[in-house]
A and B are shown apart, each in its own frame.
Chain A
Amino acid sequence: MSSTSLWEVFGVILQIVVLLVVISFSAGLITRGKNVLLTVFFTFSLVSWLLSDFYWITYDLLRPGTRMPLAANELGECALSLLMAAGLSPYIKKETSRPRWEAVYAILFTVANTALWIVWSGEWLQDIVCGLALCVFTSVVAIILIQTETIPRVVRVLLVLSSVLVLVFQTACTYIKTPLTKVLEYSSYVLMYAFLAYFIIKAFILHRSGARTKPFVLMTAAFCWAEFNLYMSPGWIYSVSLMVFTVTIPFMYLTLRREVYADDIC
């Protein structure tokens, strides 16, 4: 087993431990009966990700080196996206005055990502299934980010520009092999991590200042962004992205706990 694979296994085991702890705490929130919908769907989502991790580890141990077709691993990831989207859906306010361009852009971004995953992995079915589920989650997160006015207009524009640049850089790296493409590849990760850091730091500052909904929305966006980051990373960057993704989970729980105690929806 290569050192990169070992780091991946270590990352997944660490994530399992973190998930077990966070699930036990969020299950505690359910039994206290506050905003049951959000806490139950958050817990169910994490359980599905936990099952996916268990499946990945078990498959790696029982059938090392064999191709995994569409399996419970991907279904668990789909369940996470869809259940998160279902739990967050009460936050979406009905408005007819304007088209939801943010949702359209989120879907286009996810579709473009899915196309790149297919090019990288060659797995049509599982990438399309996962991509569709992620489309739902991303569009819900985008709508909530705009409706709650969590990020200012300048940051929104920068976010759109950065995500387009990430896609352009990644596509260029896939098809053109020159020394410059390595620079482009790393630039795309810098952009991804910069926005991830922005979401987490802003959520932390707002959380410290006593805000309720906005830190939770920001951490949900960070979680979604970290998931994209994870799927587009190869080799050792994947191991780093896995760790970063794991870090977002307890932070998300902390913001959720405050949001649940606010109990201002449902």
Chain B
Amino acid sequence: MIYAENILICIAVPLLVSLFFVTKSAKRFVGAFLTGMAICLIGAYIGGFIDITAAMPEGETSIFLSPIIEEIIKFLPILFYMLIFLPGNRDLLLFAVGIGAGFATFENCCYILSSGADSLPYVMIRGLAVGVMHIVCTFVLSMALVLLRNFKVISFAGIVGALSLSMSFHGLYNLLVSEPGLSSYIGYAMPLLSAAILYLPYKRSFKNL
């Protein structure tokens, strides 16, 4: 058993202090990173509760429930930030990446503390696969939000559609890595490949938005 709350405090305090010494974009990113870590903990509470309530067999929770819960919990602060603070496009994308990075970092810390960090391949997989997957999901979501807002067609359908897309990406990753063998290798490669593919349209089109 690990004490996730204690780990959060340990990692969050230096970052909180750093907020006083950084400005503008850096402050926004650190704030989003901290929020990402906090919502990861909240997501774990909600996931644990639903897991017990739904009484699903072991292993099925991570395939069927976790993608839905985690994506909704990551999506809520991004939506809140967009609607309340009315940030620019770049700021929104930065905030979303910060949320994804914070979420992934805290999740990795907890997994590594519970399973051990003696295996370098395992640590690399956690970092390159799961870590990147959370960033890709939040980035796609924020790209869709930016587009909807820019073209003044922000709607329930568009927002939920983008959320469903990130959920299905997350769900597919979790399913692929749930079994050892070829499927898991494909799963581990999927987030990095997607990040590389996403970078192209972002570089050409979104930077100018």
Which residues of A line the B interface, CB within 8 A?
27, 30-31, 33, 36-37, 40-41, 44-45, 47-48, 51-52, 54-55, 58-59, 61-62, 69-73, 75-76, 78-79, 81-83, 85-86, 89-90, 133, 136, 266
The closest CB in chain A to the CB of B158 belongs to A86
Q: Once the chains are docked, how many angstroms separate the CA of A61 from the CA of B170?
A: 19
**Which label, helix, strand, loop or mixed, suits the secondary structure of the B interface?**
helix
Number of B interface residues at 8 Å Cβ cutoff, please give it. Answer: 34
Residue interface mask B119-156, A partner, CB < 8 A = 1: 00000000000000000000010011001100101010
The listed residue with most B CB atoms (<10 A of its CB), out of A27, A31, A75, A90, is: A75
State whether the Cβ of B44 lies closer than 8 Å to any Cβ in chain A: no
Contact present for A86 and B157 (CB under 8 Å): yes
Q: Once the chains are docked, how many angstroms separate the CA of A103 from the CA of B63?
A: 36
Q: Once the chains are docked, how many angstroms separate the CA of A70 from the CA of B56?
A: 13
Contact present for B161 and A85 (CB under 8 Å): yes
Q: Once the chains are docked, how many angstroms separate the CA of A89 from the CA of B154?
A: 10
Contact present for B155 and A71 (CB under 8 Å): no
What's the count of A-B pairs with C-beta under 8 Å?
120
Contact present for A27 and B201 (CB under 8 Å): yes
Q: How far is the CB of B190 from chain A (nearest CB, A)?
A: 9
Q: Once the chains are docked, how many angstroms separate the CA of A86 from the CA of B160?
A: 10
Chain A residues whose C-beta falls within 8 Å of the C-beta of B147 in the assembled complex: 36-37, 40-41
> CB < 8 Å: which of B158, B160, B165, B167 contacts A47?
B165
Chain B residues whose C-beta falls within 8 Å of the C-beta of A85 in the assembled complex: 157-158, 161
Contact present for B168 and A75 (CB under 8 Å): yes
State whether the Cβ of B176 lies closer than 8 Å to any Cβ in chain A: yes
Contact present for A86 and B161 (CB under 8 Å): yes
Q: How far is the CB of B23 from chain A (nearest CB, A)?
A: 32
Chain A residues whose C-beta falls within 8 Å of the C-beta of B167 in the assembled complex: 72, 75, 79
Known: A83-B158, A89-B155. A59 touches B165 (CB 8 A): no
Q: What are 15 sample pairs from A and B whose C-beta atoms fall under 8 A apart?
A: A40-B143, A40-B201, A44-B161, A55-B175, A62-B178, A71-B64, A73-B171, A75-B168, A76-B164, A79-B161, A82-B158, A82-B164, A83-B157, A83-B158, A89-B153
Residue interface mask B161-198, A partner, CB < 8 A = 1: 11011011111100110110001000000000000000
Known: A61-B183, A90-B151. A54 touches B172 (CB 8 A): yes
Chain A residues whose C-beta falls within 8 Å of the C-beta of B170 in the assembled complex: 72
Known: A55-B175, A72-B175. A86 touches B168 (CB 8 A): no
Contact present for B165 and A79 (CB under 8 Å): yes
> CB < 8 Å: which of B63, B153, B161, B172 contacts A78?
B161
Q: Once the chains are docked, how many angstroms separate the CA of A62 from the CA of B63?
A: 12
Q: How far is the CB of A15 from chain B (nearest CB, A)?
A: 16
Contact present for B64 and A70 (CB under 8 Å): yes
Contact present for B165 and A52 (CB under 8 Å): no
The closest CB in chain B to the CB of A24 belongs to B197
